[in-house]
Chain A
Amino acid sequence: MEDLERQLKNALARKDAPDWFEAKVMASIRRDGGVQARRPALRWRWASALAVTVLVIGGVTWQHERMVQERAAGEAAKARLELALKITRVKLQRIEQRLNETERDN
């Protein structure tokens, strides 16, 4: 029993930390602090890259969509022009036909 108490007393006795301990801890704190200081910059870099990517993809998609819409509108306008010229042609042709008939009758 006495032996056990002695062992416990020795084990729990106050001992000063070795000289190298403080230096190691301080070095560790400095190292961790530096990493933490660098992290926000890294995060901003990633956020910027993501924003640029989103902008580029958005811009390309918008441009493509605009071209598709413009092509559709252009083709529709061309079709309308075609229809208008066809009607004009048919009417002028009929007028010419009537003129020819009139000439023949006279």
Chain B
Amino acid sequence: MKIAYMAFVALLPVAAQEFKIPASLDKLADKATEVVDVTLDGSMLQLASRFLSEKDPDEARVKRLVAGLKGIYVKSFEFEKSGEYEESDVAALRSQLKGPGWSRIVGVRSKRNGDNADVFIGSDGGQVTGLVVIAAEPKELTVVSIIGSIKPEDLRDLGGNFGIPKMEIGGHKSTGAKEE
């Protein structure tokens, strides 16, 4: 029920502003012990898609998912000790997602682990146009931005692909925004 409500709210016909991972985040690379930066724009996704097999059911599913996407951008910084990034760095990311068309479908604030995570869905005219995951852990900061037509079911479909276990978003499990 909660999921249905969240999906309804997320898909209200208001165009989402385009989310961009700010270049200012790159300054964290100097402090990080490990940096992952993946940029896959529309043409790169199309190219990758051509090398996904139709015969392999998992790859075929990813191929269908990728067909509706315009870009996948990932930035992940891993630090040796906590406190290497500022709250303002994360706030700059979240502030972009406060505009119309963006809805936070999951929010986690864990005092126990110090983990802060948010999942946002962007929509335009009732269509999902993007998904953003911000995971701020004490020693790790990760931002994932998936641009394009992606549904919670698509995320669930990621299960089994490239070793990705099934997600229960949109299923029986509650994924409502919760904060500790």
Contact = CB atoms under 8 A, between A and B. Distances in A.
A93 interface: yes
Interface residues of A, number: 30
Contacts of B142: 87, 91
B84 interface: no
Contacts, number: 110
Contact of A82 (B44, B135, B144, B162): B162
B51 A78 contact: yes
A88 B36 contact: no
Interface in B32-47: 36, 38-40, 44-45, 47
Contacts of B51: 71, 74-75, 77-78
Interface in A62-87: 70-71, 73-75, 77-78, 80-87
A87 B144 contact: yes
Secondary structure type dominating chain A contacts: helix
A94 interface: yes
A58 B165 CA distance: 48
29 contacts: A74-B51, A80-B44, A81-B40, A81-B66, A85-B62, A85-B72, A85-B158, A85-B161, A85-B164, A86-B162, A87-B38, A87-B76, A87-B142, A87-B144, A88-B164, A89-B164, A89-B165, A89-B167, A91-B135, A95-B108, A96-B173, A96-B175, A98-B110, A98-B115, A98-B117, A99-B106, A99-B178, A101-B110, A102-B180
